[in-house]
Structure formats: C-alpha cells, structure tokens
C-alpha cells in the first residue's frame, strides 16, 4: 500500500469511529491536507533539516565532490522561487540549501529602513525571516502536491490506470522544497544570554544551522569592511556553548554551529584577555597584541601593562580605547580561532577572506587540519569581491611566474571589456566556473554560498524593466523582457494567482462545501491564457 493510501486509510478509521456526523469528511481529502502540511512546527523543520545537513557533512568527508551550495534570500518568495527553480532544472534539492544573510536583513528587513551591516536592526527580524522562508517553502509543497492531486483525479476520471499509478508514485516519492537554512546570528546581539535567547527563537522558527562570528556585538562590522573588533576566545566560546544549549534544550541535538572568524581582516580588540598561566588561551590571544616594552620609570599615567616572561609590555591603545594587534598576525590569529572553536563545540568554520584565492584558503585550512583533521569550511563567494578582476590578475600573475608573455595585458586594467575575448579572460572565467569544485577538493570547503545574490538580481532586473517601460519600449519592455520569457522558460509564477495559493484555496472550498463551492479557477479565469 502506498503512503498516500495508507494515510487515507488511517484518516478513514478515525472518521468511522466518530459515526454518521463525520460522514461528510473525505478520508482522501484529509490525506491530501496532511501530506501538504508535513511540517507542523519550526522545530519539525529544524530536526528534519539538521539530519540532512549532518548526512551531507558525512558524505563530504568521504568525497569532497559532494560539497553543498546555497544562495542568500531576503524574502520568503525569493527562497521559494529558488527551490522551485532548482527542482525544475536539476530534479532534486539534494545538497542545495538557503542562506539567511544578516547583511540583507539589515539592508532590507529593518523597521528603521536600510541599515549597514552593523547589527543595528531588530534582532527578532532574523527569526521572523526564517519563519517566513519556511512558510513559503511549505506553500510550494502544498501547491505542487495540489497539482498532483488534480492529475490523480483526472486520471481516475479518464479511467487511465497507468496514469493513476504513475501519479500515485510521484505523490509517494514527492521531494519537499524544505531544505536547511544557514542562519546568520551576527555576533549574537549582546552577551551569551542574549545569544542563547535569540538562538532559541531562530531554532523554533526552523533553523538547523546557526552561524556566529567573533566580533564585538556593539562594534560589529560587515566582514568586508574596515574597523572590525574581535573578542577574546573565552568570550566567543561562551556564545558557542550558548547556541549549543539552545539546540539541546529544544531537542535538536544534531543542530549545526558555524564559527566565523574575522581575524584575518580585524586588527583591533576591545579587551585584553584574562590569563591564568603562560601559554593558556588568554595568553595566546594577548601575545598578538602590538606592545612596547617599558620600565617602571617610563610608564605613563593610565597605562595598561602586561607582564610576560618577566618583561613589562604596554599594549598600544588607540584614542577609541581599542587595542591593536601586530601587523601580519591575522592568519595566525585566524588559524587559532578556528582550531579553538572546533575544539569547543563548533561544527563548521567560516573564514572571511579579502579575496577568493584557493591557495590562501588552503594554506590556512591545512594548518587547521593538522590539529583537527576533519575541519570543514563554509565559504562566502562574496559579491564584495571583484571576481572578474581578481581572477584575471591571478591568471596574469601565474602566467608571469611561468614565463608566459603577458605584455599585451595591463594588470591594473584587466577589468576592461577590451580583454573580454582574450585568452587570459577565458582562462580566468574557466577558473571562476571551477572555483567551487576546486576549492571543495583542495581547501576543505564543504559549503559554498553567495551572501547577497538576490539583492543584486532584484536591482538588475528592476533596472532593466524600468529602463524600457518608462522609455520608448513602453509595455513591450514588460511583455518581451518578462512575461514572454516566463511563458517560454516555464517560470511557475507566470500564473501568479496559482502561485499565491488560489488553486489550493479552490481545493479547500471543494472539500468544505462540495458542489456548492464558489471556485476562482473556473473557465473565466484569465490565468487560463497561460
């Protein structure tokens, strides 16, 4: 017996137990509604997706070709359309996730209006977006299953047994649009208790994976901007533990924590770490501080002094009251951050780099894996990188090193369209195309994401439409540039009434009122033109 039939039989038994007053309730309609509402709560989602992500991590450990990917989405509809597109073009959502970017929450979802990525937005807007994304993904399930149920009814009406069997098989093997979300909690929006409380909200909304960074909460900056300030390791580890407690309290025991370090580009700290003995974690953190050796007679009013190995050291303090690290220590600090995080409960790492360079990433990962052999990265294929220029310059440098004649190229101007058809640009594009596969193999990157892609695609597509519609093209700009392409490329939301749930509503009307149902999807619905 199929899952669909079994569910209908179970519902039928309950209906029969309640006697004639329930006789108008259809067991099959109940089965349909249950299948369309597989996930009842956000915790159901978190438990389901955590299992998927853990399985994917294990698969990657065996074969680096099994890396995973995601795109950042700032609205439920955007996430929904992404998953519908993935299923349409690739047939499966396996190893494809969603990413929730704190940057996009700040820029697009704050009641204050657009804000920079500095944790000034309402913290609860993060969990609200998680809930919204999963609401739209569940609706995508209901919509697609609704179409299959209508196909099933049509096959039965036509007495087409083969078609009926095929549709039942597709229903029983239906793949949900619900996939893991890697959700950005920034630096936790406060102390460890604040981190714990927000993590609980995010998990209850459906998050199986939470990404947290080692910046100071009230000094938080985008990882690709200047002025970043890190915290001592013990402060960060307390927040990692807070997130783990939140997962375990809510029964998501296999929830995933991504520990992000910004140390590669962060040259400042707000605190001198507490240390008990030479070589402990606090002492290692402090060893990177930029200090001057002093004697009692050269000490100044208000000096903060460190005693290290019998020497008195004065950390350099800026007018902002922040302390600075020695130049060139970023990679060492980054590696220590990663090792320490993995040894204290984190599952995955995020290293925020200033350019997409596999060699640089691999160098750090190799050092981390010397201590933690199965270390894995989540990597931001960031729109903050100029990918074209970076990779053309990487090719230029590699060719120069190998003795290839590059006199036809100006390294500083390689972004120019004049080079678009050149052999150098073709090689750079090949490396960009293969970047994720090569980095997964060589640099330990389990998950590749783009933080802000749909922010940029929304801007680009809106610019193209506005340029034509308000110009000479007029209505043709929409018809040729949008609708005609939607129809020909099979974009589901060309039938926007269906996408918004109109057909699901019609199904429910029929369930509730039978032949008396006033349905919207009749012969006079203009959506029938598509």
Average predicted confidence (pLDDT) for the chain: 93
Judging by DSSP bridges, how do beta strands 181-184 and 306-308 pair with one another? unpaired
pLDDT bucket at 121, cuts 50 / 70 / 90? confident
User: Residues 509, 496: contact at Cβ < 8 Å?
Assistant: no
| DSSP line for 115-183 | --SSS-S-THHHHHHHHHHHHHHHHHHHHHHHHHHHHHHHHHHTT-HHHHHHHHHHHHTPPPS---EEE
Cα–Cα distance between 378 and 182 in angstroms, integer? 10
Question: What backbone torsions phi and psi does residue 72 show, to the nearest 5 degrees?
Answer: -70, 135
Q: Can you give the pLDDT at residue 116?
A: 75
Judging by DSSP bridges, how do beta strands 306-308 and 323-324 pair with one another? unpaired
Q: Is 278 a residue whose pLDDT tops 70? A: yes
Q: Is 515 a residue whose pLDDT tops 90? A: no
The residues annotated with a catalytic role in the active site are: 222
Q: Is 405 a residue whose pLDDT tops 70? A: yes
Count of CB atoms within 10 A of residue 20's CB? Answer: 7
Strands (E), 325-385: 348-351, 377-380
Collect all residues with Cβ–Cβ distance below 8 Å to 308 and sequence separation of at least 6: 278, 283, 286, 287
Q: Can you give the pLDDT at residue 264?
A: 86
Interval 373-386: pLDDT, tens = 999 999 999 999 99
Half-sphere exposure of 145 (CA within 13 A, CB side): 23
pLDDT, average across residues 231-239: 95
Q: In what order do the strands lie in the sheet with 306-308?
A: 291-294, 311-315, 306-308
> Could you tell me which of 90, 178, 101 has the C-alpha nearest to residue 134?
178
Q: Is 530 a residue whose pLDDT tops 70? A: no
Q: Can you give the pLDDT at residue 522?
A: 65
Q: Is 165 a residue whose pLDDT tops 60? A: yes
pLDDT, average across residues 323-335: 94
Interval 145-155: pLDDT, tens = 999 999 999 99
> Could you tell me which of 15, 208, 28 has the C-alpha nearest to residue 100?
208
Tell me the residue length of the chain: 530
Cite the DSSP H helix spans in 175-232.
192-205
Cα–Cα distance between 447 and 57 in angstroms, integer? 9
Judging by DSSP bridges, how do beta strands 377-380 and 181-184 pair with one another? unpaired
Interval 285-303: pLDDT, tens = 999 999 999 998 898 888 8
Q: Is 194 a residue whose pLDDT tops 70? A: yes
pLDDT, average across residues 170-193: 96
pLDDT, average across residues 448-473: 96
pLDDT bucket at 220, cuts 50 / 70 / 90? low
Q: What is the 3-state secondary structure (H, E, C) of 390-444?
A: HHHHHHHHHHHHCCCCCCCCCHHHCCCHHHCCCHHHHHHHHHHHHHHHHHHHHCC
Confirm whether pTM is higher than 0.85.
yes
């Amino acid at each position: 017996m199929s899952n669909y039939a079994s569910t209908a039989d179970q519902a039928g038994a309950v209906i029969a137990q309640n006697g004639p007053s329930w006789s108008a309730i259809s067991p099959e309609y109940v089965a349909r509604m249950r299948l369309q509402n597989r996930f009842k709560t956000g915790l159901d989602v978190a438990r389901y997706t955590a299992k998927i992500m853990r399985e994917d991590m294990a698969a990657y450990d065996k074969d680096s070709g099994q890396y995973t990917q995601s795109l950042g989405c700032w609205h439920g509809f955007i996430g929904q359309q992404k998953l519908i597109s993935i299923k349409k073009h690739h047939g499966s959502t396996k190893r494809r996730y969603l990413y929730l970017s704190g940057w996009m929450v700040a820029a697009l979802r704050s009641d204050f209006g657009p804000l920079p990525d500095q944790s000034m937005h309402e913290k609860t807007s993060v969990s609200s977006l998680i809930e919204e994304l999963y609401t739209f993904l569940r609706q995508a399930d209901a919509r697609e299953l609704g179409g299959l149920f209508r196909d099933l009814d049509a096959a039965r009406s036509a007495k087409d047994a083969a078609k009926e069997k095929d549709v039942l098989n597709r229903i029983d093997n239906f793949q949900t649009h619900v996939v893991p979300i890697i959700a950005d909690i920034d630096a936790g929006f406060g102390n460890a208790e604040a981190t714990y409380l927000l993590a609980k909200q995010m998990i209850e909304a459906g998050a199986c994976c939470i990404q947290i960074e080692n910046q100071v909460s009230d000094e938080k900056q985008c990882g690709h901007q200047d002025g970043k300030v890190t915290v001592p390791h013990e402060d960060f580890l307390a927040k990692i533990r807070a997130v783990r407690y939140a997962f375990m309290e809510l029964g998501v025991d296999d929830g995933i924590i991504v520990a992000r370090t910004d140390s590669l580009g962060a040259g400042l700290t707000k605190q001198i770490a507490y240390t008990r003995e030479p070589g402990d974690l606090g002492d290692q953190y402090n060893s990177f501080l930029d200090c001057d050796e002093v004697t009692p007679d050269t000490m100044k009013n208000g000096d903060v002094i460190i005693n290290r190995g019998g020497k008195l050291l004065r950390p350099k303090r800026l007018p902002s009251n922040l302390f600075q690290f020695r130049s060139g220590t970023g990679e060492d600090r980054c590696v220590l951050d990663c090792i320490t995080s993995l040894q204290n409960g984190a599952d995955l790492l995020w290293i925020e780099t200033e350019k997409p360079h596999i060699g640089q990433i691999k160098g750090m990962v190799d050092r981390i894996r010397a201590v933690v052999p199965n270390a894995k990265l989540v990597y931001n294929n960031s729109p903050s990188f100029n990918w074209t220029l970076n990779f053309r310059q990487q090719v230029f440098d590699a060719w120069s090193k190998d003795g290839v004649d590059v006199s036809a190229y100006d390294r500083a101007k390689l972004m120019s369209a004049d080079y678009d058809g050149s052999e150098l640009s073709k090689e750079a594009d090949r490396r960009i195309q293969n970047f994720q596969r090569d980095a997964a193999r060589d640099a330990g990157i389990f998950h590749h994401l783009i933080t802000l892609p749909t922010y940029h695609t929304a801007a680009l597509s809106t610019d193209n439409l506005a340029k034509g519609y308000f110009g000479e093209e007029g209505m043709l700009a929409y018809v040729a540039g949008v609708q005609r392409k939607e129809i020909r490329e099979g974009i589901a939301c060309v039938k926007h009434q269906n996408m918004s749930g109109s057909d699901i509503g019609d199904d429910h009307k029929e369930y509730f009122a039978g032949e008396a149902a006033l349905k919207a999807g009749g012969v006079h619905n203009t959506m029938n033109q598509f």
